[in-house]
Structure 1
Amino acid sequence: MRKWWPLLTVCLGTFMLLIDVTIVNVALPQMSVDLHTSFTALQWVVDGYALSLAVLLLGAGALGDLSGHRRLYIGGLVVFAVASLACGLATGSGMLIAARVVQGVGAAAMFTTTFALLNGAYQGRERGVAYGVWGGVSGAAAAVGPILGGLLTEGLNWRWIFLVNLPISIAAVVLSLTVLRPDHGNRKGRFDVAGTVTFTVAASALTLAVIRANEEGWTAFATWGLLVLSAVALVAFVLVERRSAHPMLDLGLLRNRSLSGILIAALLVNVAAFAAFTYTSIWLQSLIGLSPIKAGLIGLPMSLVSVVVSGIAGAKLHGRSPRLLIGAGMLLIGVGSALCALLLGPDSSWPALVAGYAVIGLGVGLVMPTLAESAMALVPRDRGGMAAGAINTARQLGFAIGIAVLGTVFASRAEDHLNERGVPDPAGTAHGLAAGQAGRILEAVPQAARSAADTALRGAAIAGLDAAFLVAAAAGLLGGIAVLIMVRPVRPAAPGVEQPSDDRSTVAA
């Protein structure tokens, strides 16, 4: 049993950092009341964490390769714990968002080291089992987040969704010092500051552009200005990485068609599987009237199915071609999202989500452990942290952008629905609806017109959710098709076999 302590240690950190992506979803309505937040601020409570996590993963991966993965993992745990305390004590939306951004910095340091730590602790079939368990934890965390968030929000207060991280972080630090093997980095060189800065600017500007488009439209000057800034920064990042002797991301790795296909799947998996959770949680609480706990429990089918399937995939399907596992998983996620859109109607309640969530969980269980292991098998050992950073960056950046895109789609479609029914200020009402303020909107309506207003709001929410799930479904199907076309139908190298040291032999496949 002692041999699985490193897996437990890594899974503790992974579960904690990933659960914090979605744990706030069911608490958003209460946060909006307590902190008097706008829709934009409310969105940044989610996106601030996801974005900082996403944009720093590449740099953190390279830093782990240079300085040692255990050291970086422990440092990330400490930063994450301190930021969690600040979140729990926040007195305003600005302080909460700033603390969430710092929390994402610690999460990036933890997340980018997980694959390397597992590779250092396990070999052969044991490594496959470890990746299967890690994948199950990773996939389940997003679904369990709303459940735990509901329990803490309803039983105590929304602040406890952050404060609960403190004892977990302490336990993880103690375990890391006692059961993880110390390492001192697999490659030499300097930290790529220029690459980190240019990539951070490119990714942040892109996400900001999508959020501003939700407020001001895609034709607004601010939106286009941010898109241009993102494009310029991305070009600068490519130029910096091509000329750097120690790049944060070896662009030569992208010549590997299989790795590129896996990166596309990583970018789209969170959009397809989890980004709509924010808006279904708001709908379930503000219009259906579920408590935070009950709203969180709706994701239980996805959580249970993903854990079971991940364990089976890691133990029984270890060594199989990632092309079929990831491709089929992404297609299932797309089908599950489409099923949610199909079953939701004006009179729907929570049962309309269960079947679709279960199918999404099946796909998540296939994709998550396979993404990690297959990416690591495609690169040399001294590029392990770089590959982990690239995969995790794609996942979290996809989630941050997905939240923003689906928020835009939800609000736009809800506005159209309200406008068709002659509701005054349809844009403001749609944004208030997306922010979980349906109760406030109804209270401002005269008693005689309240029933009609409630019907209009319910219809607008369903219209917005339908559109969001259809976009999520398209992302899943697109990711599945990309994997089936791009990833070569060959088995990845056995995890216990040393990868070639010559980059060219690996990236030209």
Structure 2
Amino acid sequence: MRKWLPLVAICTGTFMLLIDVTIVNVALPDMATDLGTSFSQLQWVVDVYALALAALVLGAGSLADLFGRRKLYLIGLVLFAVASLASGLAPDAGFLIVARALQGIGGAIMFATTIALINTSYEGRDRGTAFGIWGAVVGASAALGPILGGALTELSWRWIFFVNLPVSVLAVVLTLAAVHEAKQPGAPRPDVPGIVLFSLGAGGLVFGLVRAASDGWGSTQAWAPMVAGLVVLAGWVFVELRRPAPMLDVRLFASRSFTGIMAGALVLNAAAFAALIYMSLWLQSIGGLSPLEAGCVFIPLSALSFGVAAFAGRALQNRPPRLVLAGGLLLVGIGSLLLGLVDGDSTWRVLVPGLAVLGAGVGMANPTLASAALASVPRERSGMASGAVNTARQLGFALGVAVLGSVFTARAGAVLSGAGASDPSGTASALTAGQAGQLIGAAPEPDRAGLTDLFASAYAGGLRDVFLVCGGLGLLGALVVLLLVRAAAPSAGHQPQARPQGAPADAH
């Protein structure tokens, strides 16, 4: 049994860092009330964590190769724990956003070392078993976040962060006791210019999209950072093409299969998980559910996601990845369109069929992404491909939350404007910040029933458009994967090697 302690240590950290991508969703209404946040601040509480993961997970791998993977994993755990404590103690939204960014940096350092630690801790059949268990943990984490978040928020939203402290201590103890140190001889230096440029470019793009949700698409405050972000990302590509050991060899995108898989990873997280923030707000602020009740609504998503991945994963791994990924994205698209049946009179029950189909799609596509990415590149680029998948997932989530914010506020504002509401855009932003109850409570008694119905219609309209966009993304992603990804199944036993950066790499 002792031989599996390294895997327990690695999976404990992995589960904790990935569940924190979505655990905050159900707690957002309580956060908004307690801290007096705006809608854009709520978006950043969710987005800044995913953005830090996306921007830094590739670059952190080279640090692990250079200085030691166990050492970096422990540093990431400690930073994650300290940032979790700071998040739980946050006195205002700005402090919480900064703490969440630090939490994301710690999570990226941890995530960048996990595969390499498994690779050096196990051999032969045990290695395959370890990767299978780790993959199941990865697949279940995001889907379980809302349920666990709902249970903890019943105590206080701050407990979704405080709970990380004992888990971090356990992971540190297990890592010190059971995980051996490993470095990569002759590992390249970190690609600092690449890391900085990618972080600034992706951050500018997401910042502009978030501003567009609150200020409108015609605002200079929205367009300027988006354009600047795209220019910086173009500069990043230019720099990466000329570096001997880049954080990501952009020439890999010359492979149609690799490009299709990266697009599939980005779309999967955008279409499947980015809408959860808006569902959680609707269930509580309009539906009147408690955080725990709202979290339990997501059980079909969690159960089907985990069940399909666990029980059908082995059979699906032997199928052509283009069919498995496209099938999963197709189900995500169909599930999102089913969720789009929501209207002003709907209750949480209308979400159940769509969440079930969505979960089946996630469970079908998720386990295949990493193996398909590894099969699409030369073996010496396996670690880089694995890291790129993780980057695409988290970037898709961050971009999805930002884009869907604009979709939501535009439709909700249009419904409010059509009903003659004063300041429809401001009211829409207040609704998306979970303030429906406060707005209704502040209105004169005779107007409250009418306002309740109007807010329900506005929120349902915004939510419906969000689901339609997610459905379209899922269907488009399925088509892109079918057109680009090769038909061959991944080669058996293609596990990552032991280095993650510009050369043979694996810490992702």
1:159, CA displacement in angstroms? 0.9
Q: 1:368 aligns with which of 366, 369, 383?
A: 366
Could you report, residue by residue, the CA deviation over 1:141-179 in whole angstroms, capped at 9, with x for unpaired residues? 22221111111111x211111010011111112222333
Could you report, residue by residue, the CA deviation over 1:196-226 in whole angstroms, capped at 9, with x for unpaired residues? 1111111001001101111222222222211
Whole-Å separation in 2 of the counterparts to 1:193 and 1:428: 41
Whole-Å separation in 2 of the counterparts to 1:71 and 1:189: 17
Give the aligned partner of residue 15 of structure 2: 15
Whole-Å separation in 1 of the counterparts to 2:475 and 2:139: 18
3-state secondary structure, aligned to 1:493: coil
1:257, CA displacement in angstroms? 1.8
Whole-Å separation in 1 of the counterparts to 2:490 and 2:96: 43
Give the aligned partner of residue 141 of structure 2: 141
* Alignment pair present for 1:289 and 2:282: no
Give the aligned partner of residue 63 of structure 2: 63
1:118/1:504 Cα in 2 relative to 1: closer, same or farther (>3 Å)?
closer
1:398/1:419 Cα in 2 relative to 1: closer, same or farther (>3 Å)?
same
Letter in 2 for 1:419: S
Give the aligned partner of residue 76 of structure 2: 76
Letter in 1 for 2:101: V
Whole-Å separation in 2 of the counterparts to 1:500 and 1:2: 23
Whole-Å separation in 2 of the counterparts to 1:323 and 1:168: 37
Letter in 1 for 2:206: T
1:499/1:319 Cα in 2 relative to 1: closer, same or farther (>3 Å)?
farther
* Alignment pair present for 1:245 and 2:244: yes
Give the aligned partner of residue 483 of structure 1: 481
Give the aligned partner of residue 221 of structure 2: 222
Equivalent pair of 2:44/2:97 in contact (CA under 8 Å): yes
Give the aligned partner of residue 103 of structure 2: 103
Q: How does 1:321-470 map to 2 (within 5 A)?
A: 321-342=320-341, 344-380=342-378, 382-470=380-468
Whole-Å separation in 1 of the counterparts to 2:497 and 2:143: 35
Q: How does 1:273-288 map to 2 (within 5 A)?
A: 273-288=272-287
Whole-Å separation in 1 of the counterparts to 2:296 and 2:380: 42
Equivalent pair of 1:112/1:385 in contact (CA under 8 Å): no
* Alignment pair present for 1:254 and 2:253: yes
3-state secondary structure, aligned to 1:185: coil
Whole-Å separation in 2 of the counterparts to 1:454 and 1:468: 21
Identify which range, 218-227 or 452-461, moves more after superposition.
218-227
Whole-Å separation in 2 of the counterparts to 1:367 and 1:70: 30
Could you report, residue by residue, the CA deviation over 1:78-118 in whole angstroms, capped at 9, with x for unpaired residues? 11011001111111111111110000001111122233333
Gaps of 5+ in 1: none
Identify which range, 215-224 or 2-11, moves more after superposition.
2-11
1:456/1:497 Cα in 2 relative to 1: closer, same or farther (>3 Å)?
closer
1:289, CA displacement in angstroms? 0.7
Equivalent pair of 1:133/1:311 in contact (CA under 8 Å): no
3-state secondary structure, aligned to 1:495: coil
Equivalent pair of 1:125/1:315 in contact (CA under 8 Å): no
1:126/1:477 Cα in 2 relative to 1: closer, same or farther (>3 Å)?
farther
Equivalent pair of 2:119/2:496 in contact (CA under 8 Å): no
1:466/1:187 Cα in 2 relative to 1: closer, same or farther (>3 Å)?
farther
- CA RMSD in angstroms, aligned pairs only: 2.3
Whole-Å separation in 2 of the counterparts to 1:334 and 1:483: 14
Whole-Å separation in 2 of the counterparts to 1:475 and 1:119: 35
1:399/1:478 Cα in 2 relative to 1: closer, same or farther (>3 Å)?
same
Could you report, residue by residue, the CA deviation over 1:476-507 in whole angstroms, capped at 9, with x for unpaired residues? 11221111111111122222579899x999xx
1:315, CA displacement in angstroms? 3.2
1:369/1:2 Cα in 2 relative to 1: closer, same or farther (>3 Å)?
farther
Whole-Å separation in 1 of the counterparts to 2:282 and 2:91: 26
Equivalent pair of 1:129/1:315 in contact (CA under 8 Å): no
3-state secondary structure, aligned to 2:287: coil
Whole-Å separation in 2 of the counterparts to 1:65 and 1:500: 9
Whole-Å separation in 1 of the counterparts to 2:225 and 2:487: 39
1:318, CA displacement in angstroms? 3.4
Identify which range, 368-377 or 64-73, moves more after superposition.
64-73
Give the aligned partner of residue 33 of structure 2: 33
Identify which range, 492-501 or 57-66, moves more after superposition.
492-501
Letter in 1 for 2:408: F
- Normalising by structure 2, we get a TM-score of 0.93
Whole-Å separation in 1 of the counterparts to 2:257 and 2:278: 34
3-state secondary structure, aligned to 2:244: coil
Whole-Å separation in 2 of the counterparts to 1:125 and 1:116: 16
Letter in 1 for 2:75: G
Letter in 1 for 2:13: G
Could you report, residue by residue, the CA deviation over 1:34-69 in whole angstroms, capped at 9, with x for unpaired residues? 112222222211112121222112212333344443
Equivalent pair of 2:26/2:150 in contact (CA under 8 Å): yes
Could you report, residue by residue, the CA deviation over 1:347-377 in whole angstroms, capped at 9, with x for unpaired residues? 1111111111111111111111211222234
1:2, CA displacement in angstroms? 4.3
Equivalent pair of 2:206/2:226 in contact (CA under 8 Å): no
Identify which range, 315-324 or 353-362, moves more after superposition.
315-324
Equivalent pair of 1:45/1:97 in contact (CA under 8 Å): yes
Whole-Å separation in 2 of the counterparts to 1:145 and 1:500: 30
Whole-Å separation in 2 of the counterparts to 1:367 and 1:186: 35
Letter in 2 for 1:212: R
3-state secondary structure, aligned to 1:317: helix
3-state secondary structure, aligned to 2:307: helix
1:20, CA displacement in angstroms? 0.9
1:414/1:219 Cα in 2 relative to 1: closer, same or farther (>3 Å)?
same
Whole-Å separation in 1 of the counterparts to 2:41 and 2:377: 40
Whole-Å separation in 2 of the counterparts to 1:222 and 1:323: 40
1:121/1:484 Cα in 2 relative to 1: closer, same or farther (>3 Å)?
farther
1:383, CA displacement in angstroms? 3.2
Whole-Å separation in 2 of the counterparts to 1:68 and 1:382: 20
Q: How does 1:131-170 map to 2 (within 5 A)?
A: 131-154=131-154, 156-170=155-169
Give the aligned partner of residue 113 of structure 1: 113
Percent identical:
53
